[in-house]
Structure 1
Amino acid sequence: FVGGRLGFHRRRAPRRFTPAAEPYRVNRLIRAPRVRLIGEDGHQFGILPVEEALRIAEDAGLDLVEVAPTAKPPVCRLLDYSKFKYQQHKKEVQAKKKQSTTTVKELRIGYKTDVHDLERQIERAREFLLHGDRVKFSLRFRGREMAYQHLGREKLMTVCQALDDVAEIEGTPKMEGRRMEVRLVPRKEPLKPETAEQDAKDDSA
């Protein structure tokens, strides 16, 4: 009788685990003489001698896992420990992904950058954006080039328009010292070709 239901399981001896390698006490590693036992499906067995809890786990073909060691008495659950560890690992990986910061890739151009070099930088930016990274284009003015800021702005807007299907502009181009910068962030869903074409027509209208 396990978890409030009758079941037929192949009886097996509790598996042995090395203390240093496991984050939880499992089976014979549990030291408390009495534990509060919870079944695999949440059924409350109540407080039992640890030997009886081990016998129930053995009859169910499961492991006895101490999930709350500081409780009095400690709380144990009937689990498939290998499956439990795998699920915990997946949760940790997902949590790390959420915590990871987005990389900002900087690409530099000049207002005199020729068409081929500009196209190459645009393709690099596209790869970064599709990978989920943010992109910053910076255009540096040297000496008297400061008088041609309008040309630099036009070049940056050309870049933004070329990447409109995969990116959104984070603000307008702005000056930082002798540099003009614009930042692009990945679109949550890249635009379909026909949608991008329509947006381009609307912008030029």
Structure 2
Amino acid sequence: MTEFWAQNASAVFGLLGALGGSLIVSVTNYVSKTRDIKLQSWRGLLDRKISAHDQVLKVASEMHVMAGNGEMDQEGQIIRFPVVIQNREYFEEWFTSVTTRLLSNTDWLSLKAKREVFYLQDYLIHLHKYLNERDISPSSGVAEIYQEVGKEIREDFVTISQNLRQSAMDYFEYDINRMTFDNLKGHHKLQRKDTEERLLSSKLFSLIN
């Protein structure tokens, strides 16, 4: 046995070295491929999260755009209303669009953005119901009804759009590199009392009540 090792030691160690090197290369390749797969998967998820928060920013921008019909207030300033409430057709189209764009992407939103989106949903449902009650049948005055309501709730739209924008910007500033999701089993809406307080303090509910 001693004679065997003396005669073949270099060959044995060479073989062991080759096997060890092959094993290291295999493990390295496996780790590298696994990491690449994870990175590719994360890039796909990240793209979805970025797109979802981009939609929040777009809706916030749409809510912030105001228009006027030439009417002036006592100080000579143009009285404005949200463009998306300029008439029935425009509002109905925008209402449907917002529902589709935002609610279909809530799984990819941060918890803060989700809560703002769900609050917007609650607010728009009440607004839609209120406008339908005012707009009983087609008439030449329908656009005026929508615009008058828009003038009254302009501040609501500004506030909601600012909250939506801030929630999305917070994601891009603080959470974009976090490779985890918020707890999907958590409470994604505002607490009921918080939602009610915000709704009751809105200009819309001062009209409803």
For Structure 1 versus Structure 2, the TM-score category normalised by the shorter chain is 0.3 to 0.5
Structure showing the higher strand proportion among its residues: 1
More RCO (CA 8 Å, sep 6+): 2
Pick the structure with more helix per residue.
Answer: 2
TM-score (norm 2): 0.33
